[in-house]
Structure 1
Amino acid sequence: MMLNGEKKMQRPLRWAMVGGGRLSQVGYKHRTGALRDNTAFQLIAGAFDIDSERGKDFGINLGLDEERCYANYQTMFAEEAKRGDGIEVVSIATPNGTHFEICKAALNADLHVICEKPLFFTSEEGREIKALAEKKEKIVGVTYGFSGNHMLLQMRAMVEKGDLGDIRVVDLQYTHGFCAIDEGEKASDSQKWRVDPAIAGPSFVLGDLSTHTYYMSQLIMPHMKIKELLCDRQSFVGSRAPLEDNAHVLMHYENGAVGTMWTSSINSGCMDGHRIRIVGSKASIEWWDSNPDEITYEVQGKPIQTLVRGMPYLDEQCNADERLGVLHLEGLSDAWANIYLKFAIAIDAKNRGNEETLQNLIYPDIDAGLEGIRWIENCVRSAENGSVWVDFV
């Protein structure tokens, strides 16, 4: 059955945002995702901006009550806790270096959390938050927004059923050319912090871009585990050093498969180089973000096939997320809506103690966020030691 906006829980969750204000590059994606199914979330509060007056003005223009547009997240968590109709879940759409403290404060305020990626700077921070979330019995979701493209679930089903045979090659790419020169940092505060290690963490494009693609590959092939990797990264715009604006990662999987990831913000002229190709012993499949409603299916010795979103021949786990019907194009806003709806279902299940739903729900959870941190750490460790092979620890 297609998604049509009918409620999946008794009532919408009372939701707030930290960050995501007027100057944010990502805030609107969160709101369109969360509010697409207005039976899932209701935005009632926010601490939208480090400039409190600008944040308040922005919240009012979103239709929020002025008294619930807060100067900072600490005040919001404290004041909302006093209310009978206080917030239940918060999305964190702030620079990377703030995620850990805000997430910790939210969990300690008994809130569920949805957080931008990369989740934190270190695996140690991730393990601390996971333990706190388990203690508080709360959900921590990660906004790997592209992963809501449900043709990825078709790819997952085909891998599970053995349509590709044994997986041999994993070819991943997420590149664009919008940072080919350093004008972006000069023109945009939101770009400036992304190349500051104190705020962005130990990587630029590895964390900002390729963690999306890495999680998507894990979604498609959950049984595929990396044994070792090698990362070679560059700062072609020298002012970004030590953070990279280009990187190549080679991966050896435990089953003998090999993988590559090219991630770059200096792929000059490229508008969208976000692709995933999985090569098996029988067949290959490929997905491209610029045409997210289709995957290419190539069986050795047979004509190339194009599988199209919404068609009845697709796997039921893929069509369960169908929204608009075949021939009506979906895209990133629908992908965000899909993961936000799953966040809501997960939160509702957690509140009701429904572990069966949680175990069967496919969404970017705290473990997905931890795996992304671990992947970045190993890439950085390899690069900083001379681009050598390192065990994936």
Structure 2
Amino acid sequence: MLNGERKIVRPLRWAMVGGGRLSQVGYKHRTGALRDNTAFQLVAGAFDIDPERGKDFGVNIGVEESRCYSDYKTMFNEEKKREDGIEVVSIATPNGTHHEICKAALEAGLHVVCEKPLFFTTEEVIEIKQLAEEKEKIVGVTYGFSGNQMLLQMRAMIEKGDIGDIRMVELQYTHGFSATDEADKYSAAQKWRVDPKIAGPSFVLGDLSTHTYYMSQLIMPDLKISKLLCDRQSFIESRAPLEDNAYVLMHFENGAVGRMWTSSVNAGCMDGHRIRIVGSKASLEWWDSKPGELSYEIQGKPAQTLIRAMPYLDESCNADERLGALHVEGLSDSWANIYLKFAIAIDAKDRGDQETLDNLVYPDINAGLEGVRWIENCVRSADQGSVWVDFEYEQKTHLL
């Protein structure tokens, strides 16, 4: 169980690029990183494209005015001159800026935590992965839902054979908040998400389904896609060529089949984020609206609901427990869990502790690479007329 005691010698000096007053994700990063004040300390930031608004915001969250910078380049240069300069930076900016900021951060000798999808192409990710290895730095990706510890319970049960051979994989991440074009016109955060120049080659496949795809990899690290078929739609026509709805059918190397539904136009839906894994003996299902519960259905027996923090759960699951049974955890705890693992990874990298890195389950740059690869394969299928395509892999060097 986690209780805030230090996992590393001292908090890492941390900064943010983006994540300011108008950001949809900045507060999630800060609540995650600062939940354990033994892991990170926010000391600097280039929080906003508007320098004055960014400075005002930074001061209001407790950052020294002199360390609230007008842009990331200035911040990297000035912080490098300080004995107490930043060691790690989080990138919470629109997709199209990730690559250049991440590259600049690594070249400045910083570890990086970056929003997803990581970049536009796998070639860009491979370039940055090589640079990170050269600089001996960590690049983490904020798949913010993946810190929900019941996902680790699913992983452990599947590994032990509790559900038998995997036959079907049902993935869904949908909501209805873009069912009209209202937000496209008035929300700055939505406008860039439907602009291919800034968002990249997809909307909901990148913005939503990459979360769920990574979570499926975390739960089933040995299950590989052999081929897929993607059918994507732009129900709000002005969003074309980017999709606001997509269906993906998958065939896996072990003979299992699967499908992903991702959508921002599921009208009336507040939270359609579910994962169901069907095996030959039993099924497991997790739903984001009830993150502390896991449905376990054994063929021929009454359905069970496994509850977070209970002693019958796997130790890998309970190791990330924070509040104890009867006390509700949620998304902020999930972010805190992955940020703590980012800190542990950074500390291990700096100490040359490869054993810790090899055994730590967290969304690293390889997870970001696979997310971009997922998007590329889906877009390739859809753009060829929604046809089956062989899933193009690169052999992984790090097990998720």
Question: TM tier, shorter chain?
Answer: over 0.9
What letter matches 2:43 in structure 1?
I
For residues 36 and 8 of structure 2, what CA distance do their matches in structure 1 show? 12
Q: Which residue in 1 is equivalent to 2:149?
A: 150
Deviation at residue 301 of structure 1 after TM alignment: 0.2
Aligned-partner SS, 2:349: helix
Matched, 1:250 2:212: no
Q: Report whether the alignment pairs 1:31 with 2:27.
A: no
Amino acid at match of 2:356: T
Alpha-carbon deviation of 1:184?
1.0
Q: For 1:174-229, what per-residue CA distance to the aligned partner results, in whole angstroms no more than 9, with x for missing partners?
A: 00000000001112000000000000000000000000000000000000000000
Letter in structure 1 aligned against 2:72: Y
Instruction: Give the distance between the partners of 1:118 and 1:147, measured in 2 at CA.
Output: 14
- Equivalent residue, structure 1, for 2:128: 129
Partner residue, 2:216: 217
Q: CA deviation at 1:153?
A: 0.2
Q: Which amino acid aligns with 1:240?
A: R
User: How far, CA to CA, are the matches of 2:292 and 2:24 in structure 1?
Assistant: 24
Alignment of 1:261-280 (within 5 A): 261-280=260-279
Query: In structure 2, what is the Cα distance between the partners aligned to 1:187 and 1:271?
Result: 21
What is the CA distance between 1:137 and its match in structure 2? Answer: 0.3
Aligned with 1:286: secondary structure? strand
Partner of 1:363: 362
Which residue is equivalent to 1:202? Answer: 201
Residue number in structure 2 paired with 1:84: 83
1:160 corresponding residue in structure 2: 159
- Aligned ranges for residues 366-377 of structure 1 at < 5 Å? 366-377=365-376
Q: Supply the AA of the counterpart residue of 2:121.
A: T
Correspondence for 1:291: 290
* Local SS of the residue matching 2:379: helix
Whichever residue aligns with residue 335 of structure 1, its letter is S
Offset of 1:120 from its aligned partner?
0.2
Distance, in Å, in 1 between the alignment partners of 2:261 and 2:64 is 45
**Does the residue aligned with 1:298 lie in a helix, a strand or coil?**
strand
The residue that corresponds to 2:395 in the other structure is none
Partner of 1:344: 343
SS in 2 for 1:172: strand
Q: For 1:165-176, what aligned pairs fall within 5 Å after superposition?
A: 165-176=164-175
**Residue aligned with 2:325, SS:** coil
SS at match of 1:233: strand
Report whether the alignment pairs 1:12 with 2:11. yes
Q: Deviations over 1:128-184 (max 9, x none)?
A: 000000000000000000000000000000000000100000000000000000001
Letter in 2 for 1:148: G
| Partner residue, 2:391 | 392
Query: Is 2:198 aligned against 1:182?
Result: no
Q: Could you list the runs of 4 or more consecutive aligned residues of structure 1 that deviate by over 2 angstroms after TM superposition?
A: none
User: What amino acid sits opposite 1:359 in the alignment?
Assistant: D
- The residue type paired with residue 67 of structure 1 is S
How many angstroms apart in 1 are the aligned matches of 2:44 and 2:370? Answer: 31
| 1:225-259: CA deviation from partner (whole Å, max 9, x where unpaired) | 00000000000000000000000000000000001
Separation in 2 of the partners of 1:311 and 1:255? Answer: 33
Aligned to 2:238, the other structure's residue is in SS state helix
- 2:207 aligned with 1:193: no
Distance 1:310 1:236 in 2: 42
Residue 304 (structure 1) aligns with? 303
Q: Which amino acid aligns with 1:180?
A: A
Q: Letter of the 1:147 partner, please give it.
A: S
* Corresponding position: 1:331 with 2:330: yes
Corresponding pairs, count: 392
After TM superposition, list the pairs within 5 Å mapping 1:314-329 onto structure 2: 314-329=313-328
Partner residue in 1 for 2:397 = none
Aligned residue for 2:69, secondary structure, equals: coil
Mapped to 2, the partners of 1:103 and 1:224 lie a distance apart of 30
Q: Distance in 1 between matches of 2:292 and 2:216?
A: 17
How far apart are the structure 2 equivalents of 1:245 and 1:323?
Answer: 36
Between the two proteins, what is the percent identity of the paired residues? Answer: 82
Partner of 2:353: 354
Amino acid in structure 1 at the alignment position of 2:183:
G
In 1, Cα distance between equivalents of 2:89 and 2:70: 15
CA RMSD of aligned residues (A): 0.3
Secondary structure of residue in 1 paired with 2:206? helix
Q: Secondary structure at the match of 2:216?
A: helix
| Alignment gaps of 5+ in structure 1 | none
Q: Deviations over 1:247-294 (max 9, x none)?
A: 000000000000100000000000000000000000000000000000
> What is the TM-score with the length of structure 1 in the denominator?
1.00
Letter aligned with residue 229 of structure 1:
L
Instruction: Say which SS state the counterpart of residue 321 (structure 1) adopts.
Output: coil
Question: Structure 1 residue 100: deviation in Å?
Answer: 0.2
CA distance in structure 1 between the partners assigned to 2:154 and 2:8 by the alignment:
29
Deviates more, 1:94-103 or 1:59-68: 59-68
Q: Write the letter of the residue equivalent to 1:282.
A: K
Equivalents in 1 of 2:271, 2:203: separation in Å? 18
Letter in 2 for 1:41: F
The one-letter code matched in structure 2 to 1:226 is I
